[in-house]
Amino acid sequence: MSESPRVVLTGIGWVTPLGCDIDSVWKKLVSGASGMAPITRFDARTFPTSFAAEVKDYDVAEYLRDPSLHQHAGLNSQFALGAASQAWRRAGLDRFEQLDRSRVGLYLGAGEGVLDTENYMRANLRGWDPEARCIDGVRWAENALECMHAQKEIEQEPNMPLAHLAREFEVNGPAYNCLTACAASTQAIGEAFDIIRRGEADVMISGGAHTMIHPLGVTGFNRLTALSTHKGDPAEASRPFDRTRDGFVMGEGSGIVVIESLEHAAARGATPLAEIIGYGSSCDAFRITDIQPDGRGAAAAMEMALDQAGIDPGRLAENGRPPIDYISAHGTGTQENDSIETRAVRRVFGDLAPSIPMSSIKSMMGHLIAAAGAVELITCVMAIQQGELPPTRNLHHPDPELDLDYVPNESRKAPVDTCLSNNFGFGGQNDTLIVTRFKG
């Protein structure tokens, strides 16, 4: 059996609450900037949580070859288009004329695009009476087909970002979408990695896109008691690993990477940004909204990724450093999640765990739900490229039960060769990716 091809990252792009440009957003991350502010998308003043990390000043038309092709795109699809266009160009695929588009695939972890019908009616229809649920006296149900553009209904489907990307880049290879909650884009990139290793594609566009900053999304997570209800400055609300943590802050956006076989990248003269060397996935088989308390499910995903990467988690690397230089933590800021992730890291790395720095960029960007993992993997790539670790913001009150190195409040210069990125989702989904410096 032939050896599996090496898989490299050649393009990265993101649309985030801190901005869209890779370099400027990275500078904000390492400076500890915050994207949290009062919600402007709808009137949330009466909600238990009235703040979020919204994407601001974003115009998808700036990234498109023909905006008319995507005129009905939902917000999640718009985010995906912007991030993917950045990644596509960074990979140099816009200049590569010999690309076999039947060998270019897509795998996204994209969330549903929820249409708020009531607000849509108020904004777009004259004579809408919300109490009578009618338009100029005619029952809405009788006018449904006339009232709402059919494309708006379709845009609720979670695979629509995938369809928009396929059209924008005219690619015809394998196409998949998964929606495994907060682990979705990590899973998508891991599965795309496996598709290339199996020889089913040369190039994969992968990552995620999501927004749940709408009345239904915020209400749902409030009812689950997952959101922070911090009463002070929104910038101080997301507090992963801090003793006073009380939930996550809703974010939105997209992270997209271009990955390809090393052979394909070399043949077209592309410069790899990093190499993916391990992927692991597991399920807790526990409560729908909780992780196994001892961290066994999360640990299993990490162990699988480390095994595939050929890394012994209990031994120092040849350079005398820990086997992993940095962990991009799931780190949501909920009481249980942060405690269990800490236990899982200790379970995997044992006595070496305290010497491995790990931080959560959700303290600055909020939780991008299905898009979180891809954005956090891009953070790992930037850490490798820049030799700097982003901090966990707002970590001012150490929790005596959480005793690892969470890079509190200030970024840290450090040699970074190999990073591990964790994401865990409702339903018990656990996914881990390992990325390393490309060494030729």
Instruction: List residues with catalytic annotation.
Output: 182, 330, 367
The dihedral region occupied by 7, where left means phi > 0, alpha psi between -120 and 50, and beta the remainder, is beta
- Residue 207: which of 390, 399, 370 has the closest Cα? 370
Which amino acid belongs to residue 166? A
Q: Please, what sign has the CA dihedral across residues 396, 400, 402, 405? A: positive
Q: Which residue has the tokens 């795998």?
A: 107
Q: Which residue has the tokens 């092709």?
A: 69
Please state, in angstroms and rounded to a whole number, the distance separating the CA atoms of residues 223 and 115: 20
Do the strands 326-328 and 358-359 form a parallel or antiparallel pair, or are they unpaired?
Answer: parallel
How would DSSP label each residue in 260-329?
EEHHHHHHTT---SEEEEEEEEEE--S-TT---TT-HHHHHHHHHHHHHHT--TTS--TTSS-S-SEEE-
- Residue 164: which of 235, 73, 102 has the closest Cα? 73
Please state, in angstroms and rounded to a whole number, the distance separating the CA atoms of residues 49 and 398: 25
Please count the other Cβ atoms lying within 10 Å of the Cβ belonging to residue 130. Answer: 10
Asked if 222 and 47 count as a contact pair (C-beta separation under 8 A), the reply is yes
Please state, in angstroms and rounded to a whole number, the distance separating the CA atoms of residues 84 and 90: 10
CA 32 to chain centre: 19
Structure tokens at 71: 């005129």
Structure tokens at 433: 């990716």
Structure tokens at 346: 């200790």
Please count the other Cβ atoms lying within 10 Å of the Cβ belonging to residue 190. Answer: 30
Q: Tally DSSP H helices, then E strands, for the chain.
A: 13, 17
Please count the other Cβ atoms lying within 10 Å of the Cβ belonging to residue 345. Answer: 26
- Residue 347: which of 289, 270, 291, 271 has the closest Cα? 291
Asked if 430 and 340 count as a contact pair (C-beta separation under 8 A), the reply is no
Q: Give me the torsion for CA of 347, 352, 354, 358, rounded to 10°.
A: -80
